[in-house]
Amino acid sequence: MNMELSRRQFLRTAGAGIAGTSLGAFGFGGVEEALADAIRPFRLTNTTEVRNTCTYCSVACGILIFSKGDLKKGEKAEITHIEGDVDHPTNRGTLCPKGAALLDIVHSKTRLQYPMMRKAGSDKFERVSWDVALDRVARVLKDDRDKNFIAKNNDGVTVNRWVTTGFLAASATTNEAAWCTYKVVRSAGMLVFDNQARV
């Protein structure tokens, strides 16, 4: 970080309290006043611009997300625009059709926002709590593993395999999240596993 630069003063003066501008120095002080009067009724609007990774696949294209509304001031932020990150070495600003439509996913009314469950025999999904969802997932996994776990192969060699369940993780996870996922899934004996969706 170049702090010398951020502290740099371009204008200096020998006398305290003397202020000046380029416009004033050339004799255009009136222009400045007229502009100040004209601009006064206007307000500033704030946009936040952040980098992120496209959530779709393991190519992990860089994206820029623009939002209106300042979270730091307690306002509700709304994403207004998403585009390819031109500085990202993978995609250099380009996006595939899915990535280019990310904004529509963000605002989609049918987007999954909480756990939903379709009970056996039912024809519709119902909202459930995270506790219910996690308990249910754990129960089903445990039952399947208990039933189909292969501890030894036909030659009597210990293999500890669980091949009736597979696991697919997300592409926008961090290295650390991917590492944890790998440890959990492999420790359980699962072989059908992909940490990132492939295209």
In the complex, the residues that contact other proteins under the rule CB under 8 A are 1-3, 5-6, 8-15, 18-28, 30-32, 34-36, 38-39, 42-51, 64, 66, 70, 83-87, 91-94
Backbone angles phi, psi at 79, to 5 degrees: -75, 125
**Cα dihedral sign, 87-93-94-99:** positive
Q: Report the phi/psi class of residue 101: left, alpha or beta, with left for phi > 0 and alpha for psi in -120 to 50.
A: alpha
CB of 155 to other proteins, least distance (A): 50
Least Å from the CB of residue 69 to other proteins:
11
Q: Which is nearer to other proteins, 65 or 190 (CB)?
A: 65
First to last CA, the chain: 39
Least separation in angstroms between CB 37 and other proteins: 8
Residues in the chain: 199
Q: How many CB atoms lie within 10 A of CB 82?
A: 22
Least gap, CB of 94 to other proteins (angstroms):
6
Is the CB of 94 or the CB of 196 nearer to other proteins? 94
DSSP three-state, residue 92: coil
Q: 48, 76 in Cβ contact below 8 A?
A: no
Max CA distance (Å), the chain: 96
Query: Which CB atom, from 86 or from 138, has the smaller least distance to other proteins?
Result: 86
Q: Which two tokens stand for residue 45?
A: 């609007």
* Rounded Cα distance, 22 and 29, in Å: 9
The pair of structure tokens assigned to 124 is: 């519709």
